[in-house]
Amino acid sequence: DLSKNNLRDIDPNAFRGLKKLRTIFQSVEWRSNASLALLNFLQNGTIGLGMTAGSILVAYLVTVDHELTVEDYVLFTTYILQLYFPLNFFGTVYRTIQKSFIDMENMFDLMNEEDDVSLSLYGIFDRFAPQY
């Protein structure tokens, strides 16, 4: 059983190193989440401003110029929303794919590491003699 206390007793320097690595990881993770939140905020702001400007223009063309009808306004709104939802989801999909590739690369690196202790099945069953 390897717990935090056991690790601290075995090698305090290794424990300090793990604590430092955890702090670095948390800092990088926070920056990643903050940048994603900023990206989402800017993307939503841009879409919101475009939707507002487009709605004002279409509403003007419906009410003042009578070039468009109310159905055209509904068509515009539906079209923009149908365009917006998949684009909004691309950031999440991209981040998930990137994280999966990083995890896969780490897994392959782990698989290529040499074992500290190698076990042989022959060594385990050396003195195994079932008796019936």
Domain ranges, residue 28: 4-106
Domain count, the chain: 1
Give a yes or no: residue 132 inside a domain.
no
Question: Considering the domain boundaries, does residue 126 fall inside one?
Answer: no
Contact 83, 65 (CB under 8 A): no
C-alpha to C-alpha distance for 80 and 51, rounded to whole angstroms: 7
CA 63 centroid distance within chain: 45
Q: Which two tokens stand for residue 34?
A: 């903050």
Residue pLDDT, tens place only, 103-128:
999 899 888 877 766 666 656 666 66
Give per-residue pLDDT as tens, 14-69: 667 778 888 888 998 899 889 888 988 998 899 899 999 999 999 999 999 899 99
Give the 3-state secondary structure of residue 115.
coil
Q: Is residue 80 part of a domain?
A: yes
Residue 117 lies in a domain: no
pLDDT at 83 over 50: yes
Burial of 4 (0-12, 13-18, 19+ CB in 10 A): exposed
Which tokens sit at 18?
């793990």
Residue 98 falls inside a structural domain: yes
Does 92 map to a domain?
yes
